[in-house]
Chain A
Amino acid sequence: MSVTDRTASQAPEDPAEAPPPEAPAPEAPAPDTPAALARGGVTRPRRSATWLLTVGLAVVLLLLTLTSAGLGAYEISPGDVLSSVAHRAGLGGGELARVPESVLWNVRFPRIVLALLVGASLGCAGALMQGVFGNPLAEPSVIGVSSGAAVGAVAAISLGLSFLGTWTIPVFAFVAGLGTALLVYATSRSGGRTEVVTLILTGIAVNAFAGALIGLFIFLADTAAVNQITFWQLGSLSQATWPKVLAVLPCAVAGLALAPFYARKLDLLALGERPARHLGVDVERLRIVLVLVVALLTAAAVSVSGVIGFVGLVVPHLLRMAAGPGHRFLVPGSALGGAVVLLAGDLAARTVAEPAELPLGVLTALFGSPFFFWLLRRTRRRQGGWA
C-alpha cells in the first residue's frame, strides 16, 4: 500500500468488463447504484474507522497520562491524581500532601506535557513530510532535518548563547532545521516526487554532515556544555520542567495548529504536482508553508530531547493502514498517535529498569529501526528493486 505507483508494473487489463462489486456492507442499501455509492459507499465505513481510532487513541492517551502521573519512585494512586487535578482546576477534589503534590506538579506533569508535545510534533511532522515528499519513507530523522535542527541546538549550547532566554535553543534548532529541510527539499526531488533511493542517500549525506558539525561544536565546547549536550543527545525527557515546556510550546503549538489546514491540499498533492495545480492548489506556497511547519515541529521536538527517530515514520504508517491515506484524519491522527507512543515510550523508559532510566531515543530507535527496515524491504519488493 505504500509504494509510489509510477514504477509499479502494469497489471494486465482486467478481462471482465465490470468486476463484481465488493460484498455490500449490510447497512448500505443497493450499493451498486452510483448515487448510493457516492453518498457513502466508501466513505461511511472509513469515517466510522477514523472515529473509532480517534476515540480509542484519546482514551488510551488519558489512561496513559493517569498511569504516568501515578507511577514512579513515588507512587500516587489514580484517585489522588484526579483529586489533585480537580482541586487545581477548581472542581472540588482536594490538595495532596506536600510531597506527592510537589512530585505530581513539578516533576510528573511537566514531563508528561513535554512528552505529549514532543510526540505530537514528531508524529505530525512525519505525516506532513511524507505528504510533501510524496514518499511514505520520508521522516525528519531519516532525511536529516532532525540532525540539522540538532546542529542548531548544539551550537547554541556549545557557544553558551542565551540572548533569547529559554527560547534560544528552540529558535536555533528551528533556523537550522528549516535550512536543512529547504536544502533537502530542493535537492532531492525530480518531477514533483522523491525517489526512495534519492531520499535515503540525501539523508545519509545530510546526517553525516550534521554529525560532523555536531562533533565540531562538542570539540569547541567546555566540559559543562559537553555534559549538557551528551545528556540532551540521548533523547531523554528526564530534565523536564515547566520553563522547558514553555520554551517549546510556541513552536509545537504553532506547527500543530497550522498543519490540519493543509490536509486537503496534501491529498491533492498525492496526484502529483501538476494535477494538484490543475485542481487549484498553489503548489509553491503549499510547499514553503509545509516545510516551515515541519521545521517548527521538528525544532520543538529536537530542542527538548535530541533526535528521537522513527516516531514520525511508524505512527503515520500504522494509521494509514488502519484508516486509509486521507490526510484530514492522518495529520491530526498522527499528532495524537505520536503523543500516545511517546508517552508510552517515556513511561517504559523510566520504569522498566528502575531506578535507572533508559534514554528515550534509544528505546524508540530500538523499536523503530526494525520497522523502518521492514518498510524498506517491502517497498523494494513492490517496486521490483531500486533499479
Chain B
Amino acid sequence: MRKRRGWLRTGTVPPGPVTTGDVLAEAEALRVRLGAREVLSGVAVEARAGEVLALVGPNGAGKSTLLGALAADLPASEGVVRVHGRPVSDWSAHELALRRAVLPQSASLSFPFPVEEVVRMGRAPWAGRPEEDQDDAAVASAMAATEVTGFAGRPFSALSGGERARVALARVLAQRARLLLLDEPTAALDLRHQELVLRICRERAREGDAVVVVLHDLGLAAAYAHRVVILCAGRAVADGAPSEVFTDRLLSDVYKQPVEVFPHPRTGGVMVAPVRGS
C-alpha cells in the first residue's frame, strides 16, 4: 500500500492489486424494493476481473436496478452486495469511487462545462493521491478511445445525444476504476459507435478490469460478452456464456416474443433475431 497524503483522506483505504478472476462485485440473494414494488427478488451475480458481464432482459426486468445496487445507489432490502470483497456499506463514497466507475443511463449537466472538463471530472477521486500524475494521460486516452477528442473544447450542452453519451463514457473510463458498471452505454449510439463502445469494454476486460454492462441488443451481448445474466421479473433466469444461455426457447419465453438463435453463416458466431412473419 502506498502512503496516503492529505489529512482529509487519512481514513481512506487505497485499492489493492487485482488479478484476473477476482470477484470485484457480487450480489448474494439480493432483494431490492422501490416503493412498494419488489424489483429484485433474490438475485445472485458475480462480476470477475477480466470479464465482460452483460445484463439483459425485457423492460422492467430489473437490469438497471441490479446495476444500481452493485453501484451502491440502491440499498438492498435483503441480501448483500459486495464490492472488492467488502459489503458496499462498509466503504465510504470516496473509497468506492477509487474502485468502481458508473455510467448512468442518461447524462445531463447543470452548467455548460466544456467536454474536456467533463471528462476530467472522472479524475476527481484521485486528487491528492500519487495517481493524480496520470490525470492528463487518463483524460487524453479516454477521450481518444471514445472519439470525443475532436470536440474537446465544445460545451457539453451543445452536443448531440450520441456525443453526450460518448463523453459520459469517456469520463467513466478516465476514472480508471477496476470495476466498470455501464447502464445502456449503447442506447443513444449509431451502429459504429455501439461497436466501438463494446470493443472498449473488451479491451478493459483484457487489461484485467471487471465490466458489467446493461444491454438491450442481444446481438451485441452475444458478440462481446464473456458471460450473460438474463433477468426476468426480478430474477436471474440464466447465467453463462452467450452460446450456452441464448437458446430459442429461453429467449422466446423471457421476451414473450418468438426469437431464433442461429450461427452466423460465415463466422459461426451467435446471432439472435426475432421471428417475423414473412
Spell out A's residues near B (CB within 8 Å). Answer: 1-6, 8, 10-14, 17-22, 32, 34-35, 37-39, 41-43, 131, 134-136, 193, 264, 267-272, 274-275, 277-283, 320, 324-326
Given contacts A19-B151, A280-B96, whether A13 and B114 have CB atoms under 8 Å apart is: no
B98 at the interface (CB under 8 A from A): yes
Q: How far is the CA of A270 from the CA of B125 in the complex (A)?
A: 16
Q: Are B124 and A280 in contact (CB under 8 A)?
A: yes
Q: Are B104 and A34 in contact (CB under 8 A)?
A: no
Q: Are A264 and B141 in contact (CB under 8 A)?
A: no
Q: Are B127 and A264 in contact (CB under 8 A)?
A: yes
Q: Are B116 and A279 in contact (CB under 8 A)?
A: no
Residues of chain A within 8 A of B73, CB atoms compared? 274, 277
B144 at the interface (CB under 8 A from A): yes
Q: Are B71 and A270 in contact (CB under 8 A)?
A: no
Q: Are B153 and A22 in contact (CB under 8 A)?
A: yes
Q: Are A279 and B175 in contact (CB under 8 A)?
A: yes
Q: Are B153 and A13 in contact (CB under 8 A)?
A: no
B260 at the interface (CB under 8 A from A): no
CB-based nearest B residue for A283: B93
Residues of chain A within 8 A of B98, CB atoms compared? 280
Q: What is the minimal beta-carbon distance from A317 to any residue of chain B, in angstroms? A: 11
Q: How far is the CA of A283 from the CA of B113 in the complex (A)?
A: 20
Other than the given A14-B163, A280-B124, 20 more pairs (CB < 8 A) read A2-B112, A5-B110, A10-B160, A10-B188, A11-B159, A13-B162, A17-B147, A20-B150, A35-B137, A37-B149, A42-B117, A42-B152, A131-B110, A267-B113, A267-B117, A279-B124, A279-B175, A280-B95, A280-B96, A326-B113
Residues of chain A within 8 A of B152, CB atoms compared? 37, 41-42
Q: Are B101 and A32 in contact (CB under 8 A)?
A: no
| CB-defined A-B contacts under 8 Å, sample of 19 | A1-B155, A10-B188, A13-B163, A18-B149, A32-B150, A34-B149, A38-B116, A39-B136, A42-B117, A264-B124, A270-B110, A270-B113, A272-B110, A274-B73, A274-B104, A278-B96, A280-B98, A281-B93, A282-B92
Q: Are B113 and A19 in contact (CB under 8 A)?
A: no
Q: Are B160 and A37 in contact (CB under 8 A)?
A: no
Q: Are A279 and B97 in contact (CB under 8 A)?
A: yes
B102 at the interface (CB under 8 A from A): yes
CB contact between B140 and one of A14, A35, A193, A280 (< 8 Å): that residue: A35
Q: Are B108 and A268 in contact (CB under 8 A)?
A: no
Q: Are A272 and B137 in contact (CB under 8 A)?
A: no
Q: How far is the CA of A86 from the CA of B93 in the complex (A)?
A: 51
Q: Are B110 and A193 in contact (CB under 8 A)?
A: yes
Q: What is the minimal beta-carbon distance from A137 to any residue of chain B, in angstroms? A: 11
Q: Are B113 and A324 in contact (CB under 8 A)?
A: yes
Q: Are A37 and B110 in contact (CB under 8 A)?
A: no
